[in-house]
Structure 1
């Protein structure tokens, strides 16, 4: 996925544990781990705002976009659309 989550970087900068962040944000450590490890499919703006408030950062400090390799960028839907054209 081209969106990379850098919560672990901010945790290290703030010298805060996952458990402490989860408690202060109001989410479970398991849900925070899913986000932190890049397995989340979505994040609510309210959760993102709470993370930014607790970590004293901007959303861009937690999320960044990385281009995928060329062979990974073709999705099945793209191929089907190209065939229809």
Structure 2
């Protein structure tokens, strides 16, 4: 079992189902999960502001950031499940 990112999960998809961004392989899983947690803290605040202040741009930003955080979490899990 590896405690590193796999580097296979993408995010920020366009029209042709090709990811614009990809999680970098070989990153420390603990650090990656800390980054995903920090991103989700921002998402939580942004969605609150978007819903209470009517800021649609914050909602879209939160949507994109949540996609990024999910990709990091999924990639860490893929890295952890790989046989070394």
Q: Shorter-chain TM-score: what band? A: 0.3 to 0.5
Tell me the TM-score normalized by structure 2.
0.33
Of the two, which has the highest radius of gyration?
Answer: 1
Tell me the TM-score normalized by structure 1.
0.32
